Amino acid sequence: MPQALSPARAQRLLQLTARYGTPLWVYDAAVIRERIAALRGFDTVRFAQKACSNTHILRLMREQGVKVDAVSRGEILRALAAGYTVGQGDDAVHSGIVFTADLLDRETLETVVAHRVPVNAGSIDMLAQLGAVSPGHPVWLRLNPGFGHGHSNKTNTGGEHSKHGIWHEQLPQALQAIREQGLTLIGLHMHIGSGVDYGHLAQVSGAMVTLVRQVQAAGHDLKAISAGGGLSIPYRDGEAGIDIDHYFSLWDAARKEAESVIGHALALELEPGRYLVAESGVLLAEVRAVKAQGRQHFVLVDAGFNELMRPAMYGSFHAMSLIPADGLSRPSQATVVAGPLCESGDVFTQGDGGVVLTRDLPQARVGDLLVIHDTGAYGASMSSNYNSRPLIAEVLIDGDEDRLIRRRQSVDDLLALERF
Ligand code: LLP
């Protein structure tokens, strides 16, 4: 949750929109570095790049010693483009890239085999398919512990209604498949959802120790355990974030218990996406129309859910600030903030199930700048070309400097795909 925008910050954002136009994604490298530093207790921090997969952000992560998770062939190639390397042999446990999924499409299978990217398998079929073509391939088991949680049902990745992970009761079959296929087991992994509260996050470490016991009893060895990601951030005023030191001590205790079961040291991984980047990013949009619909006051901006999908997809809340073009303060008004798309759900102030809500904002006029906060995670990475809208530019602020890290797509870029 952002503090009120300082005049200097507002000025800087205005300068960026003057140079790069709107809508615009802006990230602050200092915030990302600060979040990385807070996680230093973990042996490996593995960034879930689906949250923000720009190669310049990935490079920044790499320079800070953060490793990366990939969930598609595209994300593997992005990580390689950002200079990540794949750990081989004994180094597979420290690999710069791990591929996590519940299935392997044929092209991705070829890519993970060609680069020998460790695979975090969410299904036993993946183990069979991988073993058939890549003897000794390093694997993690992504286990579904039978419970999950998330900020929305759509982000809960545990329990029997979730497609994710190998069901905890099928761990023996998974271990059997590893043995039969001659694969190399590196570690156990659990990720129960995204935007998880502390209580649910805390349950996972206990489930991990139980499953490590089963691995040992079945005569297998392990090198690492992963706590997954899911750490929530405070999107609303007064919301508490995760107490990282406490969270680490919980997992450190679980790791020590697992080490006593296995009989040697185990590396402890964390795989956050949102925690590392959400608060570093804002979406900037210009107010282009203001209208009254009965009693509702609508402010229409030039960004839509094709840019920021979270409110339409999950009813997510994002704090907003208005920077008046004339620099003068205005009385506030209950406002519905909506975008340009030809679709009724293109509203940034909405709750669960699409109910339209209002936000108290200074009375907006055409030409003002709207800042939508905490959009560094699952913002740009979930954007689409809906309504034939080109992807927008991304800018990274680093101290006094800023640079374009993705150019704005053009309509010609879109049409080029259809020209033969
Ligand atoms: N690891 C795995 C295996 C995951 O599936 C995910 C997120 C993460 C780590 C990172 O989770 P995080 O730390 O960012 O919560 N689009 C949704 C979030 C979906 C996340 C999917 N998996 C949103 O905008 O809230």
Determine whether the annotation assigns residue 343 to a binding site.
yes
Could you state, in order of their start, the residue ranges of all structural domains in the chain?
Answer: 40-271, 278-416
Q: Is the CB of 191 under 6 A from ligand 1?
A: yes
pLDDT in the model for residue 1: 61
What CATH number belongs to 278-416? 2.40.37.10
pLDDT in the model for residue 108: 98
pLDDT in the model for residue 241: 85
pLDDT digits (tens, 9 = 90+) for 139-185: 999 999 999 999 989 899 999 999 999 999 999 999 999 999 999 99
Q: Is the CB of 310 under 6 A from ligand 1?
A: yes
Q: Is the CB of 149 under 6 A from ligand 1?
A: no
Residues 294-309 as b/e (b if ≥16 CB within 10 A, e otherwise) read: eeebbbbbbbbbbbbb
Q: Is the CB of 48 under 6 A from ligand 1?
A: yes
pLDDT in the model for residue 196: 85
pLDDT band at 277 (very low <50, low <70, confident <90, very high): very high
Nearest-CA residue for ligand 1 atom 16 is 378
Rounded to 10 deg, the angle between the 55-63 and 73-81 helix axes is: 60
pLDDT digits (tens, 9 = 90+) for 42-64: 999 999 999 999 999 999 999 99
Q: What is the mean pLDDT of residues 63-69?
A: 98
Residue 3 has pLDDT above 80, yes or no: no
- Positions marked active-site: 342
Name every residue whose Cβ is closer than 8 Å to that of residue 160 and which is 6 or more positions away in sequence: 146, 167
Structural fold of domain 40-271 = TIM Barrel (3.20.20)
How much distance in Å is there from the Cα of 50 to the middle of ligand 1?
Answer: 7
Residue 2 has pLDDT above 70, yes or no: no
Quick check: do 40-271 and 278-416 share a fold?
Answer: no
Q: Is the CB of 281 under 6 A from ligand 1?
A: no
Q: Which residue from 20, 84, 66, 31 is spatially nearest to 373, judged by alpha carbons?
A: 31
pTM over 0.95: yes
Closest ligand 1 atom, residue 51 Cα: 14
72: which strand partners?
A: none
CA distance linking residue 199 with residue 20, whole number of Å: 43
pLDDT digits (tens, 9 = 90+) for 319-328: 999 999 999 9
Determine whether the annotation assigns residue 272 to a binding site.
yes
Residue 197 has pLDDT above 70, yes or no: yes
How much distance in Å is there from the Cα of 406 to the middle of ligand 1?
Answer: 23
Average pLDDT, the chain: 96
Q: What is the mean pLDDT of residues 298-316?
A: 98
Q: Which residue from 288, 304, 297 is spatially nearest to 356, judged by alpha carbons?
A: 297
Determine whether the annotation assigns residue 234 to a binding site.
no
How much distance in Å is there from the Cα of 230 to the middle of ligand 1?
Answer: 6
Cis upstream peptide for 23 (omega within 30°): yes
pLDDT digits (tens, 9 = 90+) for 102-127: 999 999 999 999 999 999 999 999 99
pLDDT digits (tens, 9 = 90+) for 209-220: 999 999 999 999
> What percent of the chain shows pLDDT beyond 90?
93
User: Hunting for tokens 């339209």 — which residue is that?
Assistant: 356
Q: Is the CB of 284 under 6 A from ligand 1?
A: no
The answer to whether residues 337 and 303 touch, using CB atoms and an 8 Å cutoff, is no
Tokens of 75: 């994300």
pLDDT in the model for residue 242: 87
349: which strand partners?
A: none
Determine whether the annotation assigns residue 271 to a binding site.
yes
SS3 assignment, position 52: coil
Q: What is the mean pLDDT of residues 233-242?
A: 91
Determine whether the annotation assigns residue 273 to a binding site.
yes
The answer to whether residues 95 and 87 touch, using CB atoms and an 8 Å cutoff, is yes
CA distance linking residue 39 with residue 275, whole number of Å: 10
Closest ligand 1 atom, residue 232 Cα: 15
Nearest-CA residue for ligand 1 atom 24 is 378
CA distance linking residue 148 with residue 156, whole number of Å: 6
